[in-house]
Chains A and B, each alone.
Chain A
């Protein structure tokens, strides 16, 4: 592009030289702030995590500090009773969450892509949970699951179940309860991405299919779904990583387990290392 500019301005004024000389260094100058920030606050911490993982480091036993080899990993894999539990739980969590989110997200995107009265409002309603934080999601669902104010009380009023049931403090119901709470927040992500991609499906394709006598289901299967393939793969991958790293909702909703007892099998891997230091702040 320096060429184009040079051709366009043959009687080069003094400033011309600088403008054509800068571009070589300019891109580096432009990415420098971002690169420095990321080196300092992502790359360096990642490296130091690897370094610490090979060290004995315990402020209360300083005489044992030093190189540990793979002892920490061996300990985690073989001796740590919660490690495998949390890993299995994480896998289950990601699988169930991402699968259901994709399903509901796709359905919602297809619905709000139709033209109907109040579509703007409908879209806003579908998207709004995504704007809400994990902690606030927990607050909402703590209220909804509360035995006094929540769903179970109204169900009990109608004769279903019994009064005083709290799904969050029962080991058999806490997992589905947490899944539903996170679905509420996670579905809009898929809905937004899929809806955005739906905008670019050519209307002609549907018209052509219509002419050929394809049913709505066939149109969906042979036109819509193949078109959405890339977006679905991308968002599923991203979401799987994010769900695997999910901390805030599970941590604040269950504190690692029903009734605040750190029940490691109920927490995902990322919440596990933080449990000992932070469980003190949980409700008793």
Chain B
């Protein structure tokens, strides 16, 4: 069984390596500058993700949202761990969290706000803010943090931003809205969506499998 598995994987790899070698040298790009400027962006990737292929991005955001729904649904029937939270009691970590978390938050918002001009965007920004939340959770314990963000408000924020994104997407796709404001707004909404989603995963994993 095992040798067969590796053999098949190797054959696939060999086939891909052989054929993809033929892709080089790569042809020149079609003119992308005008299309980027048309969507009100400087970063062509942002122009594609939030402009030309916004329709795909809506699906992607929905996939992300549905995975979070799945996390809640599958973990809800499981018993919550009542063990004492093993918070890492380290003054160093606490001070570091105090200093770093505001900076992380500001950096995340900056990345989302400037995502259409420079490298960045809503998804990396959301991941960064989620990491900041993880740091706070490590320093202060996840329960203290969970009390700051009650679940109902979080889920309203999550679905609210999703609905707003769908409306924005509808405006862009059907009514032809475009421009820098749309990209910034969409990036901000994605930031909210991804960071609340990341927090949901973090909290549920921690609540059901012991503390972080």
Chain A complexes with chain B: no
List residues of A whose CB falls within 8 A of some B CB: none
List residues of B whose CB falls within 8 A of some A CB: none
